[in-house]
């Protein structure tokens, strides 16, 4: 059984930063690299941050049923490829998905054994500052992302875990501990329950 951990939260809350830190410290965690039609930001690499593609190619993949879930977020398509669950290594202990809230809820509906972790900003002002400070957005894209925020915040309350990303180091440690606890469930507790069920027969 794969430990699927879905990290959701509004744009600019700190998801990528936190996931990057976790992957550096835990090579046994795998990141699900999504497909997107948006342009790469400076420093983003093909196959590491996203698979960057055209709208035509993305729509072809939708038709071929190549995604576990996909969404149009703002103006662009984003989707989780199916291959990510075909684990080629026993050493992978957790697969981390970074999704918008609709995608997170959809994936959790499909795989109820996966866990969802919501990241919330300390304040709207902080969120605005983070988006501006990242320097990747124009005034227009920031405004578009803010308009989407109200619905996202409401959906985040349905997640299994919710954390306020105030102090970055503390949040990274909390997410890390949640994932390790979940790993314990998939690696040891789930097989143990199987065994107990067998013994009952
Ligand atoms: P997301 O992936 O959720 O869109 P990012 O990880 O790109 O967000 O973070 C947006 C910006 O906020 C980045 O410049 C990042 O360095 C900064 N940031 C992330 N977490 C914190 C935090 N706890 N305190 C202050 N700034 C943060
Ligand atoms: P960004 O353009 O800032 O990288 O991402 C925009 C939003 O799309 C973020 O909330 C991010 O988590 C989300 N996202 C990234 N990949 C996927 C995906 O495969 N599916 C869905 N549903 N959302 C995604």
* pLDDT tens digits for range 19-47: 999 999 999 999 999 999 999 998 999 99
pLDDT at residue 133 in the model: 84
User: How far is ligand 1, taken at its centre, from the CA of residue 1, in Å?
Assistant: 31
Residues with CB under 6 A from ligand 1: 9, 11-17, 130, 133-134, 165-166, 168
Query: Which of the pair, 139 or 57, is modelled with greater confidence?
Result: 57
pLDDT at residue 87 in the model: 67
What is the arrangement of strands in the sheet containing 94-99, beginning at the earlier edge strand? 29-31, 94-99, 4-8, 115-120, 161-164
Pocket mutation for ligand 2, best pick of 78, 102, 147, 156 (most atoms within 8 Å of C-beta): 78
Binned at pLDDT 50, 70 and 90, residue 88 comes out as low
Angle at 76 between CA 73 and CA 81, to 5 degrees: 80
Atom of ligand 1 nearest to the CA of 10: 3
State the pTM of this model.
0.92
Tokens of 47: 């196959």
Angle at 129 between CA 115 and CA 40, to 5 degrees: 65
User: How far is ligand 2, taken at its centre, from the CA of residue 104, in Å?
Assistant: 10
The model's pLDDT over 165-187, given as tens digits with 9 standing for 90+, comes to: 999 999 999 999 999 999 998 88
Nearest Cα to Cα of residue 81 among 126, 35, 148? 35
Residue of minimum CA distance from atom 8 in ligand 2: 100
The DSSP bridge partners found for residue 6 are 97, 116
Binned at pLDDT 50, 70 and 90, residue 145 comes out as confident
CA–CA gap between residue 22 and residue 177 (Å, rounded): 11
Average pLDDT over residues 80-87: 87
> Is residue 153 over pLDDT 70?
yes
User: How far is ligand 2, taken at its centre, from the CA of residue 29, in Å?
Assistant: 19
| Residue 159 phi, psi (nearest 5) | -75, 160
Average pLDDT, the chain: 92
Nearest Cα to Cα of residue 146 among 86, 85, 74? 74
Domains of the chain: 4-31+92-200 (3.40.50.300)
pLDDT at residue 139 in the model: 80
Average pLDDT over residues 140-164: 87
- Cβ atoms of 54 and 61 closer than 8 Å: no
């Amino acid at each position: 059984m794969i430990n699927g951990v879905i990290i959701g939260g509004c744009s600019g809350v700190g998801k990528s930063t936190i996931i990057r830190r976790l992957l550096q410290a835990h090579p046994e965690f795998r990141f699900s690299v999504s497909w997107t039609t948006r342009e790469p930001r400076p420093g983003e690499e093909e196959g590491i941050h996203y698979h960057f593609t055209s709208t035509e190619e993305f729509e072809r993949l939708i038709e071929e049923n190549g995604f576990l879930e996909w969404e149009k977020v703002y103006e662009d398509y984003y989707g989780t490829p199916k291959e990510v669950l075909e684990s080629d290594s026993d050493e992978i202990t957790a697969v981390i998905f970074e999704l918008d809230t609709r995608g997170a809820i959809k994936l959790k509906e499909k795989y109820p054994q996966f866990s969802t972790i919501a990241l919330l900003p300390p304040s709207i002002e902080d969120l605005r500052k983070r988006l501006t400070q990242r320097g990747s957005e124009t005034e227009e894209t920031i405004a578009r992302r803010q308009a989407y925020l109200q619905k996202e915040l409401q959906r985040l309350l349905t997640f299994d875990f919710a954390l306020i990303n105030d102090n970055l180091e503390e949040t990274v440690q909390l997410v890390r501990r949640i994932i390790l606890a979940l790993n314990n469930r998939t690696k040891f507790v789930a097989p143990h329950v199987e065994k107990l069920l067998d013994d009952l027969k």
